Amino acid sequence: MIILELKDIYLHFGGIMALNGVSLDVREGEIFAIIGPNGAGKTSIFNCISGLYSPDRGQILYKGKEINRLSPFKRAQLGLARSFQNIELFRGMTVIDNLMLGRHIHMRTNLFTGGLWFGKARGEEIRHREIVEEIIDFLEIQDIRKKAVGTLAYGLQKRVELGRALALDPQVLLLDEPMAGMNAEETEDMARFILDINEERDVTVVLIEHDMGVVMDISDRICTLDFGERISMGKPAEIQADPKVIAAYLGEEEL
């Protein structure tokens, strides 16, 4: 089953064509990677899917229904969650509080009852905190749960941002360069978490990543972009052997 589909997406900023007729489909339950050189349009695709950008033309379909006109929070309610290339956490808040923000779309109490923390509001928050604590255990960040995010090492902040996305209970998880800036051990841990999220939590993962070793190891299918256009899509072995992909990354010698 195709859970997410882009049909002929165009996006431009002034005279710059960020996406030029890009089409792709993501199947339910797979790890789907989007790769390409810097400036190829990868993050622009995520911004279109999550609702930060509105494409000039084309359709974005989630479970067969067009979501072009939905606001970002409506898309989150449908089950689309994402992380960001540059960490977008509240640095002065604790890890628990940042993860609790991911539960906000599931909360039903209003501002008044929530502020009083009484009755149903109290019970609801306790239930959401139990979910957040389970995510903390899953990501192995128990020791930092009450620390301010701004005091944490970069790799741990990346893990917290992954946890906040998980707190939304997503069906599709969009991860924008989750291994960027990490050392080898942190990269290995993050790859393990992504595999566990996909297999144990049954979450479809769409991944933007520059670490080709990780991409080739954990992805079911890969889409390659270059200058806003899709130049290749297929299984890792097919992508590795594709001359267009090799040319996009290494360049071509003119004879």
What is the C-alpha to C-alpha distance for residues 130 and 112, in angstroms, rounded to an integer? 23
Strand partners, 193: none
pLDDT band (50, 70, 90) for residue 248: confident
Overall average pLDDT of the 50-70 stretch? 95
Residue spans of the domains in the chain: they are 1-79+170-255, 91-168
Q: Does the pLDDT of residue 115 top 60, yes or no?
A: no
Give pLDDT, residue 255. 47
The yes-or-no verdict on residue 253 having pLDDT over 70 is: no
Reply yes or no on whether the pLDDT at 128 is more than 50. yes
Mean pLDDT rounded to a whole number for the chain: 90
Task: Note the pLDDT of residue 75.
Answer: 95
Give the residue-averaged pLDDT of 146-158: 93
* Span 219-247, pLDDT tens digits: 999 999 999 999 999 999 999 888 888 88
Which of 88, 3, 8, 86 lies closest to 45 in space, CA to CA? 8
pLDDT-derived band at 125 (thresholds 50, 70, 90) equals confident
- Give mean pLDDT, residues 124-148: 91
Is residue 129 predicted with pLDDT exceeding 50?
A: yes
Inform me whether the pLDDT recorded for 172 exceeds 80.
yes
Cα(210)–Cα(208) distance, integer angstroms: 7
* pTM greater than the 0.85 cutoff: yes
Task: Convert the pLDDT of each residue in 195-227 to its tens digit.
Answer: 999 999 999 999 999 898 999 999 999 999 999
Domain 1-79+170-255: CATH architecture, name and number where available: 3-Layer(aba) Sandwich (3.40)
Do β-strands 204-208 and 31-35 pair in parallel, antiparallel, or remain unpaired? parallel
